[in-house]
Amino acid sequence: MRILRRLSRKCASDMESATFNLLRCQEPELCSKIANRYRESKHDALNESPPPSLTLVLKRLNITRNMVITYFPETGKQIAKRYREYLTSKARESRISNFQLMCSIVTELRAEGINPTLRTVIKRIPSGTRIGIVERIELWRDAKAASG
């Protein structure tokens, strides 16, 4: 059964590439219009803010990852790199924001004369704030050290 699936996928893939090559030979203008449309979409994706993920761009254009790797390798790398940098900066901003929150909670507890244990600090974190367990502990330790 698996062998039949693989063979049918291989045949479909061979037919697609043969069809594309045939189309390119018979309709060069149409192929150039299609290529131009993808190039324009590429520029849109590279200038969009916040940057989209490569997966989202692939879905928008209704193309596969293999097409990007084959026909637009540099563009795919640029989109993926830009999205990774965006995620990294968002994580950094979130970490700074969460650290400031923890510092303010620790300072507030100390001003009230309460020992800022992890449990008491966690109780003061507003609901809906997304901080992982390990990050909470690290931020609590850093906030305690920073506030003296």
- Strand runs labelled E in 4-139: none
How far apart CA 114 and CA 128 sit, in angstroms, is: 24
For 19-78, the pLDDT digits (tens) are: 556 666 777 777 777 777 777 776 777 888 899 998 988 888 888 888 888 877 888 899
Sequence-distant (≥ 6) Cβ neighbours of residue 82 within 8 angstroms: 46, 51
Considering the entire predicted model, what is its pTM? 0.65
DSSP sequence for 79-100: HHHHHHHHHHHHHHHHHHHHHH
